[in-house]
Structure 1
Amino acid sequence: MELALKHAAEQTLKDFPKLTADNLALSIIDVTKPSTIDRGDWHGDAPFYPASVVKLYIMAEVFHQKLEGDPEAARALGEMIRLSDNDATAYLIDLISDTCPGPNLEGRALAKFLDKRRVVNRWFASMGYDISAMAKPWSFGPFGREKQLLGGDARPNRNRSSANSFASLMLWIVRHRAISGADSDAMLALLERPLNPPRADENQVKEFIGESLPAGSREWSKAGWTSEVRHDAAYIELPGGRKIILVIMTRGTADDVKLIPAIAKSVLSELQ
């Protein structure tokens, strides 16, 4: 697996010269066998701004707190994962952290706000993850205390994850160990991505891993992109029976819609 990713990464860097090695991270887990895994990565522990892929951590925390049964939370989960809606994500972040947006805070009030927002970080840290998922994703912003949360110009509290961390979370869900088997099944239902999307505004297949998959494949995924980064984290079942978790994270070439499908195609070719 390690060698396959190395070859795929090297080919990608040749084919996309604007992409540099430090701006590419790959992680892969072969879960075809039910009792064992085969794992590899390329810069898999490198930290990246995760864009909307961070919503995987938010989803997991909603189930961890057993809030998914609430009708509004359930609706927000669907909008957040299936459509990558930032408003739904903001609602869920406030729900799981017991916070609300507003003007600047000072002193103890700000410290309490920041501590509450670390709820996802603390839970995943207890399981060995080094991630940050405390900031809301914004189309325009942030404002007020949400801007304070980032911690100044250096933005030390900005959302952060590695490809390996996302792959581990997907593995946890795919193996039906994320909180409970029923919770894992519910998360997989949210993540299932039709390769021929019924809605025109569904854009987490085209321009991402799903675009490169052969006919007859199935995919469960969460993509994310900004003007800075373009990522995808997917569990895929191939027609031949192989089952793979693949995470692709890129930075600096986010406007290239051919990049992630090309990387995925190269990885799959190396695995044949």
Structure 2
Amino acid sequence: MLFIGLKKRVKIGKFPIEIEQEQAISPAYRQGIEQLIKRDLHPQAWKEKFFNPIQDFLGQSLPVNTQFYAKMGWTFNNRNDAAIIVSLDNKAHYILVVFGDEKKFYQDKEFFPILSRQVYNQMLKK
């Protein structure tokens, strides 16, 4: 497994929490960041775009009316996604961060969407 450093990963994983809880930034700045990372999950909003932060990532399998704020990334040997996810009824409100450095994860285009939907379904059961 290729590591970018555990300390750096923890910081990356904590950033969505700090945004959500307004710990690291002001409320006004939080709103600006949310506007930058807010994603429309309706397929017509992302299906035909060259830059597509939904397909093959955490948002693809979620209901279209889910509030979804995410920052994804990929290179030739990894795929990552960090998301704030809120169901329409607010029963599920959580942060999901996935680092896919193993070849089987970054080459498998179904892994992130399947994992995301499973977590979403479990969060609704709470």
TM range (shorter): 0.7 to 0.9
- 1:50-65 aligned at under 5 Å gives the runs none
Distance 2:39 2:24 in 1: 19
TM-score for the superposition, normalised by structure 1: 0.40
- 1:119-138 aligned at under 5 Å gives the runs 130-131=7-8
Candidates 19, 39, 50, aligned match of 1:193? 39
Does structure 2 conserve the Cα–Cα contact (< 8 Å) formed by 1:233 and 1:245? Answer: yes
Candidates 230, 236, 247, aligned match of 2:79? 230
Q: For residue 98 of structure 2, give the secondary structure of its aligned residue in structure 1.
A: strand
Write 1 or 2 for the structure with the bigger share of strand. Answer: 2
Give identity over the alignment, percent: 25
Distance 2:65 2:41 in 1: 9
Query: 1:48: which partner in 2?
Result: 3
Q: By how many angstroms is 1:206 displaced? A: 1.0
Does structure 1 conserve the Cα–Cα contact (< 8 Å) formed by 2:62 and 2:117? Answer: yes
**RMSD between superposed Cα atoms in Å:** 2.3
Q: By how many angstroms is 1:203 displaced? A: 1.3
Query: 2:25: which partner in 1?
Result: 179
- Structure with greater contact order relative to length (CA < 8 Å, sep ≥ 6): 1
**Structure 1 runs not aligned, ≥5 long:** 1-22, 24-46, 51-128, 132-161
Question: Within the alignment, does 1:258 sit opposite 2:110 as a pair?
Answer: yes
Write 1 or 2 for the structure with the bigger share of helix. Answer: 1
Distance 2:119 2:52 in 1: 22
Give, as a single letter, the amino acid of the residue that structure 2 aligns with 1:170.
P
Does structure 1 conserve the Cα–Cα contact (< 8 Å) formed by 2:85 and 2:95? Answer: yes
Q: By how many angstroms is 1:185 displaced? A: 1.3
Deviations 1:208-260 (A, max 9, x none): 11112123101110111122111110001112212111101112232221111
Name segments (4+ residues, structure 1) moved above 3 Å.
47-50
Q: By how many angstroms is 1:193 displaced? A: 1.1
Candidates 41, 49, 69, aligned match of 1:220? 69
Larger Rg: 1
Distance 1:165 1:270 in 2: 26
Aligned residues: 118
Distance 1:239 1:182 in 2: 23
Q: For residue 107 of structure 2, give the secondary structure of its aligned residue in structure 1.
A: coil
Distance 2:75 2:108 in 1: 11
Distance 1:225 1:204 in 2: 10
Distance 1:270 1:48 in 2: 29
Distance 1:215-1:259 versus aligned 2 partners, 3 A rule: same
Does structure 2 conserve the Cα–Cα contact (< 8 Å) formed by 1:233 and 1:247? Answer: yes
Question: Within the alignment, does 1:249 sit opposite 2:99 as a pair?
Answer: yes
